[in-house]
Amino acid sequence: MASKLEALEHWVNEVAALTRPARIHWCDGSDAEYQALVQQMLQTGTLIELNQQTHPGCYLHRSNPSDVARVEHLTFVCHPDEQDAGPNNHWMAPAEAHAKIDALFDGCMVGRTMYVIPYCMGPIDSPLARCGVEITDSPYVVANMRIMTRMGAAAQARIEREGTFIKGLHSTGELDPERRFIMHFPAELSIKSYGSGYGGNALLGKKCHALRIASHQARSEGWLAEHMLIVGIENPQGETHYIAAAFPSACGKTNLSMLIPPEGYLRDGWKVWTIGDDICWMRPGADGRLYAINPEAGFFGVAPGTSGSTNHNALTSISHDTIFTNVAVTADNQPWWEGLPGTPAIDWQGRPFDPANGPAAHPNSRFTVSAKQCPTWSEMAEAAQGVPISAIVFGGRRPSLLPLVMEARDWTHGVLMGAAMGSETTAAATGTVGVLRRDSMAMKPFCGYHYGDYFAHWLSFDQPGAKLPKVFHVNWFRKGANGKFLWPGFGDNLRVLEWMINRVEDRVDGVETPIGILPGDGELKVDGLRLDPAQLDALLDVDNAGWQAELAAIGEYLQTFVPHLPERLREEQQRVARALDAADDAQPRQEATAH
Residue 553 and residue 445 in contact, taking contact as beta carbons nearer than 8 Å = no
Which of 233, 323, 221, 312 has the alpha carbon at shortest distance from 270? 233
The question of whether 374 is a catalytic residue gets the answer no
324 is in an annotated binding site: no
Task: Report whether 570 belongs to an annotated binding site.
Answer: no
**In the 8-state DSSP scheme, what is residue 479?**
B
The answer to whether 254 is annotated as binding is yes
Q: Is 440 annotated as a binding residue?
A: no
Angle between helical axes of 94-105 and 6-19 (0-180°, round to 10): 60
577 has binding-site annotation:
no
Q: Is 278 annotated as a binding residue?
A: yes
How far apart are alpha carbons 533 and 459 in whole angstroms? 38
Q: Is 249 annotated as a binding residue?
A: yes
Residue 30 annotated as binding site: no
Q: Is 255 annotated as a binding residue?
A: yes
Interacting residues of 78 by C-beta distance below 8 A, sequence separation 6+: 85, 91, 92, 93, 94, 97, 183, 184, 185, 186
CA of residue 515 relative to chain centroid, distance: 27
525 is annotated as contributing to ligand binding: no
Buried b (16+ CB within 10 A) or exposed e, 8-43: beebbeebbeebbbeeeebbebeeebbeebbeebee
Rounded CA gap, 492 and 477, in Å?
13
The candidate with the shortest Cα–Cα distance to 319, out of 56, 51, 530, is 56
Q: Would you say 492 is a known binding-site residue? A: yes
Provide the 8-state DSSP code for 353.
Answer: P
Whether residue 130 is annotated as binding a ligand: the answer is: no
- Please name the amino acid found at residue 422: G
**C-alpha distances out from residue 426 to 77, 248, 307, 417, 423, Å:** 29, 13, 22, 22, 9
Question: Is 207 marked as binding a ligand?
Answer: yes
Q: Is 235 annotated as a binding residue?
A: no
Which of 78, 120, 251, 447 is labelled catalytic?
Answer: 251
**Residue 251 annotated as binding?**
yes
CA gap 104, 265 in Å, rounded: 56
In the annotated binding site for Mn(2+), the residues are 207, 227, 278
The catalytic site residues sit at 251
In the annotated binding site for GTP, the residues are 250-255, 366, 397, 490-493
In the annotated binding site, the residues are 70, 198-200, 207, 227, 249-255, 278, 364-366, 397, 490-493
In the annotated binding site for substrate, the residues are 70, 198-200, 249, 364-366
